[in-house]
Amino acid sequence: MKNKAFLTGNAKRKDKDAREKTSGLVDIGLITEDRLITDAGRELLKITSSGDFETNNVFNINRDSFIYLKQLLKTSIDVSGSIVRPFIAVVKCLTELEFLSYDEFTYFVPLIRDDETAKQIISDIKLYREGKILPEEIIYKRLMQMDNYKLAREEFIASDVDENLICLVGMNRKSRSYDKPYYKLYENLKKVFLDGKSDYESLLNSAKNINQKPGTLWRSLLFKTTNIGVVRKNGKSSIHKQCPFINCKNEMELKEVFFRYLHVFKAMATLSDYFDLNRRYFNITDTLIFEDRMIKLDTIPKYYFKEIIDVLYTETFSRDNNLRADASLETISEAFKLDISKVYVALSKDLGITIKSPEQAATYVNDERYRRFNTLIDKKFNDSVLIELLNCFEKRDDKRIEELVTDEAAVPTIFEYILGIIWYKVSERQGNILDFMKLSLEANLLPKTHAAGGYADIIYEYEACTSYPKHSLLLEATLADGNNQRRMEMEPVSRHLGDYRIRFNNPFDYSLFVSTYLDKNVISDFRYRKIIPYTRDEETITGM
């Protein structure tokens, strides 16, 4: 991984670091526990080595994404002693609910552990959308179905509260001592809401002593503001009107509310920590679209899964013993023994179009992607954002680039993508930019890194008009500078254009080299290419 520049720097404990970095590959069956490559891993390696990612499957997704999809359909995890296949659980929710908000995906779906909880969660999400149930209620209900939480609650309600009790019922996985600050918080809650004391400043400080996300959640539960000066001045009026502790009449009720939020906020913190990781896992299948804080299935996957979900869902709470094999869809589940024409019929009916073949489906999907890509450009990449990005590439402000575009692709890949969008706008959106960009895009049409090579980064095709003849423009982009640029770009850029000219025999084809830095030797070499012959397999052209 380091040789291929996926990693930089030096780990103090290389073995531990390597285990951590590759544990996800074990989870989804691409390597064994001993870090040996599996049959599924070999198939993926074959695709990436060949550089051929072309679509060749019913879902109309890249070949590598198809491997990931099959692996995630088989991948299972242990949720409190129950086996769950998360991807199928998410697909079930999406087919029943049409979409999931980020909050629903983060806090509710991971609580599914069997068929019963799946039904409850889907039902609760519907109530949540109608405003009839709070997220805290959904989470607490799930927690209280577990014996260890029931026991902890009984112990807490029945005993006198001290620091040891709080640390005991807090059930901290690392160490009980981490929960000591909650005792101070409990004491201050009791003083303010039961004993009628006005020490709101101490209450805020004790909430501030709770670290990370749980502390943030506690502070927003209790206070309108976390500004100590404002709390000191406004006292009681700085407490939220909806604060659940206001209605506590005795210590028993206070304990109930405290225990609930102690564990709900811890659970919310843990679940939100996993959101990004879960998103990345599901994203690599190219079947889900993550945008506008919503998750939905892409068009073909949506209609396909709708047809098979009843049969596929029966696999959700079982282990697949073929995780490491490069298995066919039909081997993974009987559900995939489907006549694809059923999917096309449903698709045609809903969309008011006629689709009868994979080619027609691909045409529709590509047209739809093209429409969505134009919408994405309008929403996300107006001219001022594009100019800011060009400045960021020049300064190598990678963090800002990732904020504006994506953190799923390497910055040089994002550079190609942004140049493609700029050239598309410059060309008044003529031509099929999604074909011209030699990049792999995720389902949400943002770039992902692929090791493709052998041709220009972007090949823009122009039809003949009154201003110019039919020709292609090879747009070559690089962020390499200094000696790196001479080594990495001088020969390939010339070769790409020379080979292209020989292949298509059009003297009007030309190349444009775009960089944040121009090496003098690279410029000299490119200028001399105008008069130097270029030969490939006995064919020669003079002047590029």
Is 332's pLDDT higher than 90? yes
Average pLDDT over residues 294-319: 96
Q: What is the pLDDT of residue 487?
A: 82
Is 103's pLDDT higher than 70? yes
Is 178's pLDDT higher than 90? no
Domain boundaries, the chain: 19-140+272-351, 153-246, 358-542
3-state secondary structure of 442: coil
pLDDT-derived band at 351 (thresholds 50, 70, 90) equals confident
Q: What is the pLDDT of residue 365?
A: 84
Mean of per-residue pLDDT scores for the chain: 92
Q: What is the pLDDT of residue 454?
A: 58
The answer to whether 324 and 44 have CB atoms below 8 angstroms apart is: no
Provide, rounded to the nearest whole percent, the portion of the chain with pLDDT above 70: 99
**pLDDT tens digits, 355-393:** 888 888 888 888 888 999 999 999 999 999 999 999 999
Q: What is the pLDDT of residue 453?
A: 56
Provide, rounded to the nearest whole percent, the portion of the chain with pLDDT above 90: 73
The residue assigned the tokens 């009980």 is: 176
Among 536, 534, 540, smallest CA distance to 494 is for 534
- The token duo for 398 is 């990678």
pLDDT-derived band at 488 (thresholds 50, 70, 90) equals confident
CATH 3.40.1160.10 fits 358-542, yes or no: no
**pLDDT tens digits, 405-460:** 998 888 999 999 999 999 999 999 998 898 898 788 888 899 987 545 556 789 99
pLDDT-derived band at 480 (thresholds 50, 70, 90) equals confident
